[in-house]
Amino acid sequence: MFYHFFYPLSSDYSIFNVFKYITFRSAYSGVTALILSLVLGSLMIRILQKFEIQEKIRSDGPQHHSSKSGTPTMGGLLILATFGCSTLLWADLSNHYIWVVLISALGFGAIGLRDDILKLRRGKGISAKEKILLQVMLSLAIGIYLLYFDPTRTEYATRLSVPFFKSFQPDLGFGYLVFIVFIMVGTSNAVNLTDGLDGLAIGPIIIATLTYTGIVYICGHFNFAEYLRIQFIKDAGEVAVASSAVLGASLGFLWFNSYPAQIFMGDVGSLSLGGLLGTIAVIVKHELLLILVGGIFVIEALSVIIQVGYFKYTGGKRFFKMAPLHHHFEELGWSEPKVIVRFWIVAVVLAMISLSTLKLR
């Protein structure tokens, strides 16, 4: 909105020329989302408490988590609202990728919201099959648009960028659409599984979003992309404005979600943030890099898969003391803050390794 209002005035007032720069608008997009989150966070908590929108802790989880029962949930609505508002204020709304990102966030958020509401009403959310089906349908719609209706589509649309290899770009053809769906649905659910401790999911989300904000800007800048010999994605740089808004909104949410949490994000937050992260990775064609950037989410999801598979294969034995993995460490005696901070440290290290792959190719 600001871009469309102020930039045309730059011909008469040179000060407004700054609105053409993605870096300027990205910075203020993040700051705006952060301020909105900090200002509205306390109000959001009071509203959720008033309507008794509170977390119900499962009996099969760690026993000391019972104290978390009654904590306001569905705080992801705050993240979505501040992210959406800031993006609409600072982004170039004629850029089609901005709308892809917004639709992705709102779509996955709507699925999570439905799940949260049903949990509050009947104690059980939507079935796993229904959730996956809705996620697949949304991911398919986004994937079909990016592959067949994207106005900036190139012959590299179905090629896969492989970290550490600049020349090896296999063409998946139609299989790339299936791959897109897997990335988006997988990331959405992986973040959801990680959201089990205070600040555990939002910390790596902040780190991953910051990493991809840099990648988005580089991929959308012809000179930087050419220098690093990575694929230039026309118009993708504008997504940095949206990802910065996610970063600011997430930082603001962490203020209230840090241990001991005053609010939980709920499925509306975890599913939307995961889906959004997967969408951004697909747009800039650094999908496989998400395995590194979002390594914490991958590890958490794998721990659940291993636990379930091992339990069925052995007829009742457990590979981990409890899954997802963060609960395993709690059962080993690690305090909750220690698990959280150590997972954050791992996320930072993985992000640094991920950024190094842009040059080590």
The band of 59, judged by pLDDT with boundaries at 50, 70 and 90, is low
Rounded Cα gap, residues 109 and 107, in angstroms: 5
Mean pLDDT score across all residues of the chain:
95
State mean pLDDT over 332-351: 97
**pLDDT reported for residue 164:** 86
The answer to whether the beta carbons of residues 264 and 156 sit under 8 Å apart is: no
Residue 312 counted as domain residue: yes
Rounded Cα gap, residues 243 and 76, in angstroms: 16
Residue 60 reports pLDDT greater than 70:
no
Residue 142 counted as domain residue: yes
Residue 145 reports pLDDT greater than 80:
yes
**pLDDT reported for residue 89:** 98
For residue 51, the one-letter residue type is: F
Residue 205 counted as domain residue: yes
Look at the chain and count its residues: 361
The band of 66, judged by pLDDT with boundaries at 50, 70 and 90, is confident
Residue 281 reports pLDDT greater than 90:
yes
Residue 361 counted as domain residue: no
Digit-coded pLDDT (tens) for 2-31: 999 999 999 999 999 999 999 999 999 999
Give me the domain span that covers residue 31.
2-356
Nearest to residue 89, comparing CAs of 102, 108, 77, 72? Answer: 102
State mean pLDDT over 306-329: 95
List all residues 6 or more positions away from 139 whose beta carbon is below 8 Å from its beta carbon: 180, 181, 184, 185, 275, 278
Residue 67 counted as domain residue: yes
Residue 72 counted as domain residue: yes
**pLDDT reported for residue 68:** 87
Residue 308 counted as domain residue: yes
Residue 185 reports pLDDT greater than 70:
yes
Digit-coded pLDDT (tens) for 110-137: 999 999 999 999 888 999 999 999 999 9
What is the number of structural domains in the chain? 1
The band of 61, judged by pLDDT with boundaries at 50, 70 and 90, is low
